[in-house]
Amino acid sequence: MDRRKFVVAAAALPFALRSGRALAGGWPLALATADQEAHLVAVDLGTGRIARRIRTSPDPRSIEAVGSSAVVAHWTTGVVTVLDAPTLSVRHVVHGIDEPRYAVPSRDGRYAFVTDSGRAEVATLDVERGRVVGRVHLGEWPRHLALDATGSVLWVALGTESRRLAVVDVRRPDSLRLAARVTPPFLAHAVGFSPDRRHVWVTSGDRGALAIYDARGRHLVAQLRADAAPQHVTFIGSTAYVTSGNSGTLRVHGLDGRVRHTASLPVGSFNVQNGWGRVLTASLASGSMCAFDGRGERVFRTRVASSSHDVCFVTAA
């Protein structure tokens, strides 16, 4: 990245942006990965304008808000960056996770559970200290994961087209335990727990399909049609949002599975996040970040990089 661009961008910002505080109108920032350019891009959710670029280690791929931090996985270099959200500054650069893929926060925001495809493990990262404090070996290559509403159980997809899902007990973050395995009706890709605590949605890595299980994973409640695999899912209240990056679509579902609305996405928009009544996606193909409202109507589209893998929300502590 051209250093002059960073200097010019920073000089144009008021102090509130440089400190990472919420912007005019009360909106937080969105942080998107610039995969090929070794930085993150902060975007004003109120206007869709780029507010700042933050240097990181090379190849930032996935990002997740964890308490007052953001955890960034650089899976080709084996590094995890812990970013301080209020200041948008790097707090820790963590080694010891061979191939970090994705992270989810513990309920208290103290820890991040990080999938490590290099060691076939889930690792517990203490984000305050910047240390790995727990691990569990899963025997296969974990990627996407989701934490249930009680904060006690993770469901982990074991690959991009996963024959089995691992269920991990995380009640003791420093002593993780493999509790069970679930075999979906297709090769699975991603998972997400519904806010009503009753169900977990599993997306497919090999076909246009979704599966809905009861929260304990004992019963397959429903199978739904979807657009091209792989899909990803997130939730706001009683609504599920399912992306298909290959089809270029965002489907809006009720928790009963019925489709309420379908919107267009830039092709390559796979990962999806929610917060503040907004749904965010980022595109590997175009480097565009899109924000949608709760109905699934697009609010803005901003090109943030040549390629962007993931996006999250951050606010001041």
**What is the layout of strands, in order, in the sheet containing 50-55?**
50-55, 39-44, 29-34, 311-314
Domains of the chain (ranges; CATH) run 18-314 (2.130.10.10)
**pTM for this model (two decimals):** 0.91
Closest CA to 173 of 127, 141, 126: 126
Closest CA to 275 of 195, 157, 215: 195
Tens-digit pLDDT string for the chain (317 aa): 343 333 333 333 333 343 344 444 578 899 999 999 999 999 999 999 999 999 999 999 999 999 999 999 999 999 999 999 999 999 999 999 999 999 999 999 999 999 999 999 999 999 999 999 999 999 999 999 999 999 999 999 999 999 999 999 999 999 999 999 999 999 999 999 999 888 999 999 999 999 999 988 888 999 999 999 999 999 999 999 999 999 999 999 999 999 999 999 999 999 999 989 999 999 999 999 999 999 999 999 999 999 999 999 987 44
3-state secondary structure of 29: strand
Nearest-angstrom CA–CA distance, 217 and 298:
34
3-state secondary structure of 38: coil
Q: Are 312 and 63 a contacting pair, CB within 8 Å?
A: yes
